[in-house]
Chains A and B, each alone.
Chain A
């Protein structure tokens, strides 16, 4: 199976490669359109800032390429946010795969921003990405912006308010937490993603 990670100006890519390596998959980091479009699985990792990430993608035509992908696609963290319609982070128009908005957390009395640490996923819908999950339902989060709830929300997490933890629409999946850093549950999500049927 050919797995590619989309290369753009994002941090944290190496961790995703290592997590896949632990699952026995050699993934390739690339910004080559042909390679991305012909891969069996595409992972869109992310850590960084939305507006600079979007301009980087646009400058390399990757915004259009991502919309054309038909194979199972996984956005992670900023990768999830960039798949949404708009982000409040520097008022950025994003890719619009998911018709929801990304908003900034407003710190509450005891709940700080960024949301950093291990938090539970809940309201889990049936979906092949979420098959046979271990009993431990914690994932590792680091983010200051969150996607609001929408019809494509597969699971939620509570912090300051409920937000979208996992999304799916057609061949696009996305996870706000970092599965590559989330111990056994994260590993299971990646394993399930790799096991999704190809189109």
Chain B
């Protein structure tokens, strides 16, 4: 049986791990390579690195970090943040990333998803969706959740799958940083309408929240950051609890 994946997310800013509460307030949570190694040894199923301040001149730093991580860990990892072209993707895959996550670029230039899938295969294409509920409707947001779009979340997710995305990383902006649990109905609605895996993100605060998102939330994987970085939940205990 395929196991449900537990994915610690490392938000990277200037080469350090940070975690924003509602994507605004940032706290230092340590050295990314050390954290990656620790999570890998503890039995994390996968890792995600998001460079939240990626700009053109920072890409080299990110590629270097990717190489350091790839040398140290024995589990797969995804890299995202400010990726806008096939060239960016190529550089990060060559540096040792297994999958590439794109977010704003997918909204601005949806054909990039088709091109990535064609060039590197769907398995390395993770499309992140930041979504916020306004008057009962789920809208896609970009730029770390700051900009709203005219895209509705479910139809956008379906379009991404059609274009060749291999996985959807779904972050509920309303839940992110609250530790009140994942957005279960949102996640289930998206997951049930897609034939590709959905990674739920935003709101993890307890072990029960993970159980919920894998059962009623129908998620294929669950991502969290600060609860792991600040050792509120240990990965070995969480995996034992879920098994």
A residues apposed to B, CB below 8 Å: 11-12, 14-15, 18-19, 21-22, 47-49, 78, 107, 111-120, 138, 140, 142-144, 158-159, 178, 180-184, 186-187
Contact = CB atoms under 8 A, between A and B. Distances in A.
A18 B95 CA distance: 11
Interface in B1-25: 1-5
Contacts of B94: 14
Contacts of B40: 183
Interface string B193-212: 01111000000000000000
B120 A11 contact: yes
B3 A49 contact: no
Contacts of A114: 122-123, 166-167, 196-197
A14 B118 contact: no
Nearest to A77: B123
Contacts of B196: 112-114
Contact of B93 (A11, A19, A116, A181): A11
B216 interface: no
Interface in B98-136: 98-99, 118, 120-124
A178 B76 contact: yes
A114 B197 CA distance: 7
A142 B94 CA distance: 18
B2 A115 contact: yes
Contacts of A22: 71, 74
Looking at B4, B40, B45, the one whose CB has the most chain A CB atoms below 10 A away is: B45
A186 B98 CA distance: 16
Nearest to B221: A117
15 contacts: A11-B120, A11-B121, A11-B124, A14-B96, A19-B74, A48-B120, A107-B195, A111-B2, A113-B196, A117-B4, A119-B3, A142-B76, A142-B124, A143-B123, A183-B74
Top-6 shortest CB links A-B: A107-B195, A14-B96, A142-B123, A181-B76, A118-B3, A48-B121
B176 interface: no
Nearest to A186: B74
Contact of A47 (B46, B70, B124, B197): B124
A9 B155 CA distance: 33
